[in-house]
């Protein structure tokens, strides 16, 4: 897979395919680009768009960074990836922590963003999320990947998925947290601090591009009301709530066909505006 040196000492692994208006996919916290392929979204988008997916610093084929870093550093990584790939502007799709970095890119570099798709997003880390993130911090700091990887499944998937597809869930945990190229605890801890510090609630009204927010009724990580709050704050944003079975934090995997259809339909409409 190709590599992009976006800044001195920071190289990002990425994949791209397709032609047409660009789409850049921002994965969740300390994650590689795998979810976009596992869900089928990358292949679907690349039929109509130049589609780019990458690994955050610390994950996949990207550089391991030992010093502390924050949201602003991740934003700059994205901005420099655009420059490296000669992308003047793109539809930006962000999942979970990727969605809050997407918010920042749209606010701080508006000329780069054609439209936004925000999956499992939130405007501000509230007291409830803060308590959850403290638990995550303790897991990443005090336990090996085999333990925290298994524990994280509770926040990521629906009870039905964990019950009925236990082997698949275990493999997801192994690949995401224990396999080759998985992030070191340092990357997870930096991601926790980035999420803890997030608060763009006062700025979201300044986002001026077409925006789709998709949330899940049974998302235990980012409650759907948080997504609704983002959609209410962004002018003319669309809000879609998936309900019932599989409407988890990773509904992109559990309800991949519906989520993918919603994204493709939205981007098709945005491209013609």
pLDDT value at residue 255: 97
Average pLDDT of the chain?
A: 95
Question: Which residue has 């990521």 as its token pair?
Answer: 156
Could you tell me which of 103, 89, 41 has the C-alpha nearest to residue 257?
41
pLDDT value at residue 179: 79
Q: What Å distances lie between residue 37 and 49, 53, 227, CA to CA?
A: 15, 9, 24
Q: DSSP labels for 123-185?
A: SB--HHHHHHHHHHHHHHHHS-HHHHHHHHHHHHS-HHHHHH-HHHHHHHHIIIIISTTPPPH
Rounded mean pLDDT, 255-263: 97
What dihedral angle (degrees, nearest 10) is formed by the CA atoms of 69, 72, 74, 76?
Answer: -120
Could you tell me which of 213, 271, 215, 220 has the C-alpha nearest to residue 243?
215
For residue 4, count other CB atoms closer than 10 A to its CB: 19
Question: What is the pTM assigned to this prediction?
Answer: 0.96
- Calculate helix-pair angle for 97-108, 185-196, nearest 10 degrees: 60
Task: Give just the sign of the alpha carbon dihedral 57, 62, 67, 72.
Answer: negative
Lowest mean per-residue pLDDT among 1-15, 62-76, 242-256? 1-15
The confidence band for 7, taking pLDDT boundaries of 50, 70 and 90, is confident
Could you tell me which of 95, 89, 4 has the C-alpha nearest to residue 50?
89
* Interval 185-241: pLDDT, tens: 999 999 999 999 999 999 999 999 999 999 999 999 999 999 999 999 999 999 999
Could you tell me which of 27, 245, 52 has the C-alpha nearest to residue 157?
245
């Amino acid at each position: 897979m190709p590599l992009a040196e976006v800044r001195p000492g920071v190289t990002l692994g990425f994949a791209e395919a397709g032609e047409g208006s660009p789409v850049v996919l921002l994965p969740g916290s300390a994650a590689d680009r795998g979810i976009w392929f596992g869900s089928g979204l990358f292949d679907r988008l690349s039929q109509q768009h130049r589609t780019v997916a990458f690994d955050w610093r610390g994950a996949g084929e990207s550089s391991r960074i030992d010093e502390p870093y924050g949201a602003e550093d991740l934003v700059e990584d994205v901005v420099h990836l655009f420059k490296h790939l000669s992308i003047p502007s793109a539809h930006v799709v962000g999942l979970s922590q990727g969605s809050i970095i997407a918010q920042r890119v749209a606010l701080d570099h508006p000329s780069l963003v054609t439209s936004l798709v925000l999956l499992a997003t939130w405007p501000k880390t509230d007291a409830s999320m803060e308590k959850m993130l403290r638990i995550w911090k303790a897991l990443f700091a005090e336990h090996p990947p085999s333990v925290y990887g298994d524990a994280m499944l509770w926040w990521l998937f629906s009870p039905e998925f964990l019950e009925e597809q236990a082997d698949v869930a275990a493999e997801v945990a192994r690949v995401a947290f224990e396999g080759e190229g998985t992030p070191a605890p340092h990357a997870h801890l930096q991601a926790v601090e980035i999420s803890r510090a997030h608060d763009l609630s006062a700025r979201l009204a300044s986002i001026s591009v077409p925006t789709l927010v998709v949330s899940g009724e049974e998302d235990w990580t980012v409650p759907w009301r948080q997504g609704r709050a983002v959609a209410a704050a962004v002018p003319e944003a669309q809000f879609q709530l998936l309900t019932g079975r599989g409407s988890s934090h990773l509904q992109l995997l559990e309800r991949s066909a519906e989520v993918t259809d919603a994204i493709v339909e939205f981007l098709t409409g945005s491209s013609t505006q």
